[in-house]
Chains A and B, each alone.
Chain A
Amino acid sequence: MSRSAIYEGPKSGHGSRGRAPAGPGRAYGLLARYRRYRGPLENLKVTREPAKYGYAVGRIKVREMGLLNSQRLGRLIEADFDEALHILEEADYGDYLKGSRVASDVDAGLMRFLQDLYELLREITPAGSHIAEFLLDRYDFHNLKVLLKQRCCGEQNEGPMLDLGTLDPEALRVALENPAKLPQHLVGPVLEVLALPEITSQWVDTVVDRHFFEHRLVLAREEHSGFMEEFARTSLDLANIKILLRAKNLGKDAGFLERALAEGGRMGKVWMAALVTQPAEEMLRALGGSRYAAGLLQFLGVEDEQIRLTDYDKRADDLMMAQLHQARRIAVGVEPILGYIRGRENDVAVLRIILMGKLHNLSPEAIERHVRRLYVDKERL
């Protein structure tokens, strides 16, 4: 798929995302839910998809060899910074990180790697597939946040724009001057932000992030991929839970959550927003009542009315990765592509954690506690 300044993607109305089940009772186990998708219709689809995604999957299968594996990871965690760079030379990441000395070198190297990865993704995405957009529009929304903040909070400097998304950042800057020219899916967040009674940087982030999660669910539906939809919905749910828990810790009210929580997840938005007024223990118990969130929440404790969230991100990412592991069972389709790109992004995050940890002289144990489950790795967790 080629990048274009003028977006001609799906025209998604708000109506299509109205299938939000209410309450935790409607939450299903991931696996059960996934099996439900593999009914007879899905099997017909299996005969159509290989032609569409075959080429992309072929490209990816060769490159999957370069992903980090647990054995390499173990060596990385034990090594010091220079040794770690040396070990990485065996993997695909070495060329990008060679000669890094400080944190900004590591950031720049990994950024170059991501650029090349996304270039590959755009190249191999088949016609009529939203997979590139699904994975990359996160950066469009990021750029949108930067631009909106600049517009509402002050200066006109360059800003931390990311040239990784599906839209050219400059084109986006120009389009923002006239919201009618914006791509369809970005009009909603822009109008909502501009209509806010008080525009602070947190409100900008909150509103745009919510639209991001909701839009991704729409894209997944357009792709007619149960797997992608499952992925989008799970990440939306995990983000919702995270927002709720953090909002509780930060003392936000239900009105904040009303705007912050994304719609379309397994747990009803209104039900979740109401939970914030309850004491922390009560809230955890109510959330844990849903089978879906129970495994995730049983590790969280409460300390002086603050919910301990140290491990939440890792748990959530590991859960997503466990879901992606199911993709490895499918030979050809959108699943291996999604899995591979997410696996690479996960590798980048893991490398950043390890290398930054090394630069800050953290102990191998402390680093290991933060390191995510790998895409290639099956045994951990």
Chain B
Amino acid sequence: MSRLAVNPNRMELLKLKRRAAVAVRGHKLLKDKMDELLKQFLGLVRENRELRAEIEAELAEAYGIFAMARSEMTAQEVEEALEYPVAKLRLTAERRSITGVKVPAFRLTAEGDFDSYGLGLTPASFDDAMRRFNRLVPRLVQLAEVETAVMVMAMEIEKTRRRVNALEYVLIPSLQETISYITMKLDELERFYRTQLMKIKSMQEASSGAL
């Protein structure tokens, strides 16, 4: 904790006192912001965790079905069947704000069917796997959105926390220390003047008495 290198005079003291008042108010505001951010963040994290667990389970299931379906044909036959998909996905990214933090918002539009393959030679479980994958795509995008939001929020919270800490543990204490230092210095100066004055006065009285 260090004292600021300023001249200990009344002018600086006034300035510092104003700065300290601003810092304290700022600290309080930032602290409120962080509380709000944390509240939002925890909500998002919970949502993210649930979504992720859900999607991972569904993905595993879909992959299991697909793995079984694809092992009924040679790799080349699978590739041939899925080579040219018909479905087209359009993804647009926008911004939305959570308590002043900008997070992305994705919008997915799909056109065309997922079945781009012949039905006679591919196994029937193909449809099931593809349907599951097809249903999972929008949810994956949703997961990406939530996950990015969580990341952006975490960064924002980190930044705010650093600011709060800087104010709380560095700026405000050092301002206060400097203020008290200047106050002490000024007090001391005053006492010095006073003793000097008293000394001069007593010397004057002594000399006038002697006269």
A and B touch in the complex (CB under 8 A): yes
Could you tell me if B119 and A247 are in contact, using CB atoms closer than 8 angstroms? Answer: yes
Could you tell me if A242 and B118 are in contact, using CB atoms closer than 8 angstroms? Answer: no
Q: How far is the CB of B63 from chain A (nearest CB, A)?
A: 7
Stretch at the interface among A5-13, A175-183, A205-213: A205-213
Q: Which residue of A160, A210, A249, A313 contacts B79 across the interface (Cβ within 8 Å)?
A: A160
Report Cα–Cα, A202/B126, bound state, in Å. 14
Q: Which of B72, B79, B127 is packed against the most chain A CB atoms within 10 Å? A: B72
Could you tell me if A242 and B120 are in contact, using CB atoms closer than 8 angstroms? Answer: yes
The interface residues of chain A lying within 8 Å CB-to-CB of B64 are: 360, 362, 366
The interface residues of chain A lying within 8 Å CB-to-CB of B117 are: 201-202, 205
Could you tell me if A246 and B75 are in contact, using CB atoms closer than 8 angstroms? Answer: no
A146 within 8 A of B: yes
B71 within 8 A of A: yes
Report Cα–Cα, A288/B84, bound state, in Å. 35
Q: How far is the CB of A213 from chain B (nearest CB, A)?
A: 7
Report Cα–Cα, A153/B85, bound state, in Å. 10
| Interface SS of B by simple majority | loop
Could you tell me if B76 and A160 are in contact, using CB atoms closer than 8 angstroms? Answer: yes
Which residues of B66-125 have CB atoms within 8 Å of chain A's CB atoms?
Answer: 67-68, 70-72, 74-77, 79-81, 83-86, 113, 115-121, 123-125
Could you tell me if A149 and B80 are in contact, using CB atoms closer than 8 angstroms? Answer: yes
Could you tell me if B76 and A209 are in contact, using CB atoms closer than 8 angstroms? Answer: no
Could you tell me if B121 and A239 are in contact, using CB atoms closer than 8 angstroms? Answer: yes
Report Cα–Cα, A262/B119, bound state, in Å. 12
The interface residues of chain B lying within 8 Å CB-to-CB of A201 are: 83-86, 116-117
Could you tell me if B75 and A104 are in contact, using CB atoms closer than 8 angstroms? Answer: yes
The interface residues of chain B lying within 8 Å CB-to-CB of A357 are: 67-68, 71
The interface residues of chain B lying within 8 Å CB-to-CB of A146 are: 80, 83
Q: Which of A104, A146, A160, A349 is packed against the most chain B CB atoms within 10 Å? A: A160
Report Cα–Cα, A262/B121, bound state, in Å. 12
- Count the B residues whose beta carbon is within 8 Å of the partner chain — how many? 31
Report Cα–Cα, A252/B20, bound state, in Å. 74
| Interface SS of A by simple majority | helix
Could you tell me if B119 and A160 are in contact, using CB atoms closer than 8 angstroms? Answer: no
Report Cα–Cα, A107/B83, bound state, in Å. 18
The interface residues of chain B lying within 8 Å CB-to-CB of A202 are: 86, 115-118
Report Cα–Cα, A110/B121, bound state, in Å. 19
- Count the A residues whose beta carbon is within 8 Å of the partner chain — how many? 52
The interface residues of chain B lying within 8 Å CB-to-CB of A160 are: 75-77, 79-80, 83
Q: A200-B116, A201-B86 are in contact. Are A356 and B67 (CB under 8 A)?
A: yes
Residues 300-322 of A, flagged 1 when their CB comes within 8 A of B and 0 if not, give 00000000011011000000000
Report Cα–Cα, A145/B84, bound state, in Å. 11
A154 within 8 A of B: yes
The interface residues of chain A lying within 8 Å CB-to-CB of B125 are: 309-310, 313
The interface residues of chain B lying within 8 Å CB-to-CB of A142 are: 76-77, 80
Q: Which residue of B83, B116, B127 contacts A246 across the interface (Cβ within 8 Å)?
A: B127
A353 within 8 A of B: yes
- Closest partner residue, chain B, to A236 (CB atom): B120
Point out residues on B near A: beta carbons under 8 Å. Answer: 63-64, 67-68, 70-72, 74-77, 79-81, 83-86, 113, 115-121, 123-125, 127-128
Supply 18 further A-B pairs (C-beta < 8 A) apart from A201-B116, A242-B120, A357-B67.
A107-B74, A107-B75, A111-B74, A145-B118, A146-B83, A160-B75, A160-B79, A200-B84, A202-B118, A205-B118, A209-B119, A209-B121, A210-B120, A212-B120, A239-B121, A245-B124, A313-B123, A357-B68
Q: Can you list 8 pairs linking A and B with CB atoms under 8 Å apart?
A: A153-B83, A160-B75, A161-B76, A202-B86, A250-B115, A309-B125, A356-B70, A360-B63
